[in-house]
Amino acid sequence: MRLALLAPLLALTLGAQAPGHHGVRLPQAFFAGNRARLLAELKKLGPGTLGVLKSMPELPRNGGDTQPYRQDSDFYYLTGIEEARSVALLDADSPKPYTLLVQPRDPKRETYDGPLLGAEGALKAGADQAVVFPEAAKTLKEALQKAQRVVLVCTYDEPFRKEVLDAVYPVGTDNGHASYKKILVDGRNLVGELRLIKQPAELEMLQRAVDASVAGHLAAMRASARASNEGEVAGAFEGTVRSLGARFLGYETIAGAGPNSCVLHYPNNDQPVAKGALLLMDAGAEVGYYTADITRAWPTSGTFSKEQRAIYDLVLKAQNAAMACIRPGRIHHEGYDAAMRILSDGLVDLGLLKGDKEQVYKSRDWKRYSIHGISHWLGLDVHDTGSYGGFTEDKSAGLRVLEAGMVLTVEPGLYIPKDAKDVEPRWRGIGVRLEDDLVVTADGYRNLSDKLPRGAEEIEAIVKSGLKAKK
Ligand SMILES: [Mn+2]
């Protein structure tokens, strides 16, 4: 049903006249459906249950400016509201459960910052009732007083969290009043579990984010062939995805050349690219609030050195093995184990680890070069919500049983530090990670990012095509 609702929107935005994904959003019915599912969960907790959801606070930058405003993902998932200073109340006992508290219209401010919803806009956006601040403060206070159980979904607004805590659990004596009967519940896990299984409309939005990101990666590979600085490569990605409709990146772009490829969350992207250097780029566009998360590593010369190629092929083999573990009923952690066995054996074959393969694997020596987990959920957040179902001893991944509709990354990597004194110098400073975005399907998985090649020779051909291109 939701797909049918989305179809006209998609037809409109995918028309030949309008390439890209500028301004796309999921329809109101999507958010209403999510609210209905959360309300059903709230009802299960018993009568007197009130859900309280808070928007992302505005965060300072410098010189009195603020960071670009991006709504809190839980709040967005349940309301579709993109405005700051908003509160959503979900009264599980009421036939009209959804109240939105929003900023009042303000012509002077709106001249500077653009239009505000106001009460009228909030009702149009799906609220059953809408109240504007400052009156809305009273509405909130009364709702918190009346509720027996407050389920709070608020990740980043500390003053608001304290306000709710004070209302439910006042400091000092309350002179025998009934506050001790009230219960405050952290509702984030409830929402996180709802978000874990993606609906068809969400998968389409994720595909848009991935498609834009694939174009960005291809542009970056080509640009790198003639780039003298990492910034030119990051810029090729970011410029491309922005022009395709990504207002935001899902996370800060990582474009590290040479030894910087071994810095997992390399933040600078401003160092020279040495001749023949391998470059690792981990970058994802956010489209309609959903993000991609893709990593490739490639030789900026267009040809892998022998050592770069050996590490690359090993990581690719590990990634393929991990992907083969993705299907309903399998455990999330299985892919990690499969990939690590391949990396461990391969490192012995290459002479980077010494000893008997079985013993090396058991000793976990490979953790010197394979230093992170290889999968996380993906959606509105790059590290999306939902439990991993307990942790293994090394906390690298969880025991969750995979189900159709889950979206996850598969991203093994190997990093030979530049100061690894006990390996031959030719290996030092090589970092390779390969990361793709997969949706679990009824009988396996679909790789949303399979349009971006992974084979070493295909990657080389793309980079070389950038050598021929005019700057
Ligand atoms: Mn990732």
Nearest to 76, CA basis, from 131, 34, 132:
34
CA of 275 to the centre of ligand 1 (A): 28
Residue ranges of domains in the chain, CATH in brackets: 2-194 (3.40.350.10), 197-468 (3.90.230.10)
Between the CA of 407 and the centroid of ligand 1 the distance, in Å, is 12
Q: Using the mean position of ligand 1's atoms as its centre, give its distance from the Cα of residue 358 in Å.
A: 29
Selection from 71, 116, 38 nearest residue 380 by Cα = 71
Mean pLDDT (the chain, rounded): 93
Task: Give me ligand 1 centre to Cα 125, in Å.
Answer: 33
| 76-100 tens-digit pLDDT | 999 999 999 999 999 999 999 999 9
In the reported structure, the alpha carbon of residue 426 is separated from the centroid of ligand 1 by a whole-number distance in angstroms of 28
Distance 93 CA to ligand 1 centre (A): 40
CA of 354 to the centre of ligand 1 (A): 30
Instruction: For residue 377, report the distance from its CA to the centre of ligand 1, in Å.
Output: 9
Which residues, in sequence order, are CB contacts of 89 under 8 Å at separation 6+? 50, 51, 52, 53, 98, 99, 100, 101, 139, 140, 143
How does pLDDT run along the chain (471 residues), one tens digit per residue?
A: 344 444 444 444 443 444 799 999 999 999 999 999 999 999 999 999 999 999 999 999 999 999 999 999 999 999 999 999 999 999 999 999 999 999 999 999 999 999 999 999 999 999 999 999 999 999 999 999 999 999 999 999 999 999 999 998 888 876 766 566 889 999 999 999 999 999 999 999 999 999 999 999 999 999 999 999 999 999 999 999 999 999 999 999 999 999 999 999 999 999 999 998 999 999 999 999 999 999 999 999 999 999 999 999 999 999 999 999 999 999 999 999 999 999 999 999 999 999 999 999 999 999 999 999 999 999 999 999 999 886 555 555 578 999 999 999 999 999 999 999 989 999 999 999 999 999 999 999 999 999 999 999 999 999 999 988 755
Question: What pLDDT, in 10s, does the model give residues 135-192?
Answer: 999 999 999 999 999 999 999 999 999 999 999 888 887 676 656 688 999 999 999 9
